[in-house]
Chains A and B, each alone.
Chain A
């Protein structure tokens, strides 16, 4: 299958680009093997692999609480949720692989510190209520983004997102259930829930990325149907849904300027501390080093396992039954 990635120096680039954009405008999906601009491919690999890395690194802050979950049911739910994150990383790496990049290469980029992943996972999980809050706010924010990406013009990314969205609804629900329960619980539970909201609210708002005016990729991503909404639009949707629910639960939001605007129907937030955001993106968040170190260790300790199975397969004949 000859894969065609067009560059502006190609003689037919402009013509093909017009056809390509017309296909996207008609709502057609671009599939592996179809002509696409090299820049489209590059942006997709960047986004999808970052997204995959985020799922995989995102297993760590929550995974750390599996052994401390307070009931058998919560433990089971949390294992299922963290497992889904592994699964979603798996689906996303697959989507990126269809663009001709190997998982080995993507992991190398992650482990060497070259590739980015969502900054939210560079914050620590300090109490059990963080698990509920991550489900409610962090997954709530992720779902907003992912629902949008399910409409993405690239077939494999879109399909991965549809599957992920279907699975993730429970992540959001279980988190919300917990926080609402603790908000009405004992004084200690209540205080723990409020403390978690205080720490996760702002990082959750930063998850959608910089304001549109500071997001250089947004225009081309929207034009090529990779994103269908801007960062600020998705952020606004998230606040509109979650702010009233948090307040309704009797909890407070750590933004003294937050207010409801009757005219637009939007909840208007105060200024986001983008210095903090860029610090964390730049590797200086509280957990950047530990998260990467945990991934590197698992990768290194798993090397002999991966080699052993390849060695086995090389020795063995096929044993399963063909169709």
Chain B
């Protein structure tokens, strides 16, 4: 692999993993506080799966540059993280959490579908594992969006509010990272443009069927993954507090 391709792949894997870690963090804030026991259990499944996916993506990076996944997760600062801003937003209410999860799951499922034939075999193998779980997540969150959208006036209003907030943030999922075109040219990762088209088509149809309106003025759309919301710093301060508490500790 050429070194600039390798660098781009390392950056892409990091972005994929960082999204999962931060989203898992936000979702994990619900554990023990869900609206009903069954859904507490369901969201905890999603959290475990996301952490598993992050471990796989960091693991692929480790194969390329030897970096330790826990070092990456727990000892990088906010400005070194490459997650998108959507996943950093505070968890909000149940509608906010379910909608974000749906928008992300749909993106991830479509991306994985397209990445199954990656020319980079380790990535293709990881995709095969992850895609199974992602299909179920999508079924689950799709069902929630439909039910909240068509439930009560209040649930529809809350979901609509979440959509107003998240829609433009979600578009960042389709902004290529610097150097991604090299990976696309080599067939290592899929081109984001056609995935975005499919995502827009699916999400628009499903959201409208759920009785929601796409925002007329979507507002700020983040682009660079080098910059973050003002929430990430404190999120990481909490997440990394134990790992960084004892500099001498070798194992946890």
Contact = CB atoms under 8 A, between A and B. Distances in A.
Touch A–B, Cβ below 8 Å: yes
A188 B246 contact: yes
Given A67-B238, A76-B52, A308 B152 contact: yes
A171 to B, nearest CB: 14
B48 interface: yes
**B: interface residue count bin:** 35 or more
Nearest to B73: A72
Given A83-B45, A86-B37, A304-B155, A315 B150 contact: yes
A292 to B, nearest CB: 13
Contacts of A323: none
Nearest to A56: B37
A71 B252 contact: yes
A79 B44 contact: yes
Contacts of A306: 35-36
B215 interface: no
A79 B252 contact: no
Interface residues of A, number: 49
A66 B70 CA distance: 15
A80 B33 CA distance: 15
Contact of A86 (B41, B51, B147): B41
Interface string A130-141: 000000000000
B160 to A, nearest CB: 13
Interface in B24-83: 24-25, 28-29, 31-41, 44-45, 47-48, 51-52, 54-55, 58, 69-70, 73-74
A307 B252 contact: no
Contacts of A186: 246, 248-250
Contact of A83 (B44, B70, B155, B251): B44
B156 to A, nearest CB: 8
Contacts of B54: 72
B28 A312 contact: no
Contact of A308 (B147, B245, B250, B251): B147
B35 A301 contact: yes
Given A72-B55, A186-B248, A307-B151, A90 B28 contact: no
B221 interface: no
A173 interface: no
Contacts of A76: 48, 51-52, 55
Interface in A221-244: none
Interface in A189-237: 189
B186 interface: no
B242 interface: yes
Interface in A44-68: 56, 59-60, 63, 65-68
Contacts of B58: 72
A5 interface: no
Contact of A82 (B44, B93, B152, B243): B44
15 contacts: A72-B58, A75-B24, A75-B51, A76-B48, A79-B51, A80-B48, A83-B40, A90-B37, A181-B251, A188-B246, A298-B32, A302-B35, A305-B39, A305-B94, A307-B155
Interface of B: 21, 24-25, 28-29, 31-41, 44-45, 47-48, 51-52, 54-55, 58, 69-70, 73-74, 93-94, 146-148, 150-152, 154-155, 158, 238-239, 241-243, 245-246, 248-252
Interface of A: 56, 59-60, 63, 65-76, 79-80, 82-83, 86-87, 89-90, 93, 128, 178, 181, 185-189, 294, 297-298, 301-309, 311-312, 315-316
Given A60-B32, A68-B241, 18 more contacts: A66-B31, A67-B238, A67-B239, A68-B239, A74-B252, A76-B52, A79-B47, A83-B41, A83-B45, A86-B37, A89-B37, A128-B242, A181-B251, A186-B248, A188-B245, A302-B94, A309-B148, A312-B150
